[in-house]
Amino acid sequence: MSDRWRAVSADGEEIVGIQTPDGPRVVRRAVRVEDRDGECHAVTRPVVALCVCDLSQRSPWCDSTHKSIPRKPRSG
């Protein structure tokens, strides 16, 4: 599982969310997502899906590109 993204609540606490099988990490109640370089992405949805396969063209958000690659255990 990728740890590229750190989802953060309004209180500044990290929200890990739920890793789906063969899919993205689903996170609720985040207000922003930070990447390793400190870049912030504002969250505009009640629930977001974070890319963990590093193939998304809309990072940090999942764009379902993982469906185009053969399934591997616990990857997305």
Partner 1 sequence: MHLPRPRGPLSAAVIADLAGEPSESLLDVQVPGTDVLTDGDFQLALWTLYELHYRGFDEVPDDREWDPELIALRGRLEAAFEAALRRPTYAFVQQGLASGDDVANQIVAVIDAVGGPPVASYLQRRATRDQVLDFMSQRSLYHLKESDPSSFVLARIGGRAKTALAELLHDEFGAGDPERLHADLFADALEGCGLDPSYGAYVDMTPATSLAVNNVMSLFGLHRRLRGAALGHLAAFETTSAVPCRRIAGGIERVGLAPVVADYFHEHVEADSVHEQVALRDICGSLVADEPSVREDVLFGAAACAYLDDVAGRELLDDWQHNARWRPDRAEAS
Asked if residue 44 binds partner 1 (CB under 8 A), the reply is yes
Q: Which helix (H) or strand (E) holds 54?
A: none
Among 15, 32, 34, 61, binds partner 1 (CB under 8 A): 61
Half-sphere exposure of 39 (CA within 13 A, CB side): 6
Asked if residue 62 binds partner 1 (CB under 8 A), the reply is yes
CA 46/CA 54 separation, integer angstroms: 23
Asked if residue 73 binds partner 1 (CB under 8 A), the reply is no
Among 16, 47, 54, 69, binds partner 1 (CB under 8 A): 47
